[in-house]
Structures are given as structure tokens and as C-alpha cells.
Amino acid sequence: DDESITANGNEKDEEKDKTAGKTTDGDDKTKDKGENGGDKHSDKEDDDDGAKHFFSTKKETVFEGDDDEKRQDKEPNELDPDHRLLITCANNLVHSMDAAVALGVMRLMYYCAPADDCHLAVRALIEHLNDRREVSYCLLANIATMCAKRGNLFSSFYKEFFIRGIEPVFIKELKLDILSKIANESNITSILNEFQAYVRDTDIKFRCATIDVLFYFILFYLFCFVLKEKVCKY
């Protein structure tokens, strides 16, 4: 009887050990799953943070790339003293009688100066447009290039680019191109009234160029009107 009781006691001890072993294995598996789940959750958070950083960086990059014109029109409140000294010294050269000097000053202002500091340089450059037609062509070609990015610098001088009948065709075409780039809400009415005379010009090529610009105006302002209507709707 004592031997049977001892045997039964040993069997119960073995069963307890097995149960304890199973419990330990279950805890280990649960712990492993918890760690794996934590790693996956951590990886997911890292991916989300990376995606947010990518899209925010991309948005800033697109704004900076697209927004050459916006960045140039957004003038700083204060300029560095050396920067201000450069602009002041350059403005002293606008009184030169040489068209090349006036063009050089205007190019410097175009790239480095706020719009408020460009007025003198623009006025000095326009005064040379009545020079020889070779000089006028060179100046107008540069002005047309500048107007592609900063047309607001020349928009207040739009009447200086009105075309005269005695001018050669290549001068007329450049002035027409400039007028199409500097047109805005304040001067579009005067420019369109001027175009009424251009469409009756004796030069067929120039008449066709004027009609092309008018067609561009129609498409542009139609697009702006539709866009404005959609914005007001939503």
C-alpha cells in the first residue's frame, strides 16, 4: 500500500511538472507574439512617418520649383546691407547714355532687386527703345525674355510698347509679344482697344499674329472665369 501511494504521488508530481511546462511554453509563445506584434506596429509607424515626410518634402519641392515667379514676387521685408548697397550703386548707373549700360543694370535688377527698386532701371531702359532699330530689337528681345517671368515690372509702361505703323515687322512682333505678357486686369482694356487698329494693318503676317494673341487672351480669361466660377461654387 505504501508503494502504491508513493507511485500515485510520483505520477501526480509528473503531471504537475508537465502542466507547468505547458504553461511556460504558452507564456513564451505569447511573449514572442507580443514582441513580433510590437515590431510590426513599430515598423508601420516608421513607414507612416516616412510617407508623411516624403509627401511634405515633395510638396515643398513642387512649391519651390513651380514657384519661381511667386518667390520673386514675394519680396523680403529687409535686405542685407551689402545687397542694398549693390542695388543703390547700380541705380546710379541708370543715367548713362549707353543702352548697353542700361540693359546691364536692368538685368541686375531683374535677378537681384525687389520690384519697388526696379522702376528707375525700367524707365531708363525704355528711353532707349527709340534708338536705332538694331538697338531697339536687342532691347526688346531682352525685355520679352524678362516679361516671361516678371511681367509686372513692365506692366505699368504698357503704352511704351504700342506699335507704330512705320516700324519694321520684327519690331512689331516683339512688341506684340511683350504686350501679350504684361497684360493684366488694369491695362487689358487699353491693350484690346489698341489691337483693334492692329487687326486692320496692311501686313497680313502681323494681322495674323495679332489675332493669335487675341485668341490667347480669350482662352486665358475664359479659363480664369471658369476657374473662378468653380471656386465660388464650392
| pLDDT tens figures, 122-169 | 999 999 998 888 899 999 999 999 999 998 999 999 999 999 888 888
Residue ranges of alpha helices (H) inside the chain are 2-66, 68-73, 81-91, 99-112, 119-127, 133-150, 169-182, 188-198, 204-233
pLDDT of residue 2: 43
Rounded distance between C-alpha atoms, residue 203 and residue 163, angstroms: 13
Tens digits of per-residue pLDDT, 51-106? 444 434 434 433 334 445 444 444 446 788 899 999 999 988 988 889 999 999 99
The proportion of the chain whose per-residue pLDDT surpasses 70, expressed as a percent, equals 61
Q: What is the mean pLDDT of the chain?
A: 74
Q: How confident is the model at residue 111 (pLDDT cuts 50, 70, 90)?
A: very high
Q: Compute φ and ψ for 74, nearest 5 degrees.
A: -85, 90
The domain ranges of the chain are 157-233
This model's pTM is above 0.75: no
Please determine, for residue 217, whether its predicted confidence score (pLDDT) is greater than 90.
no
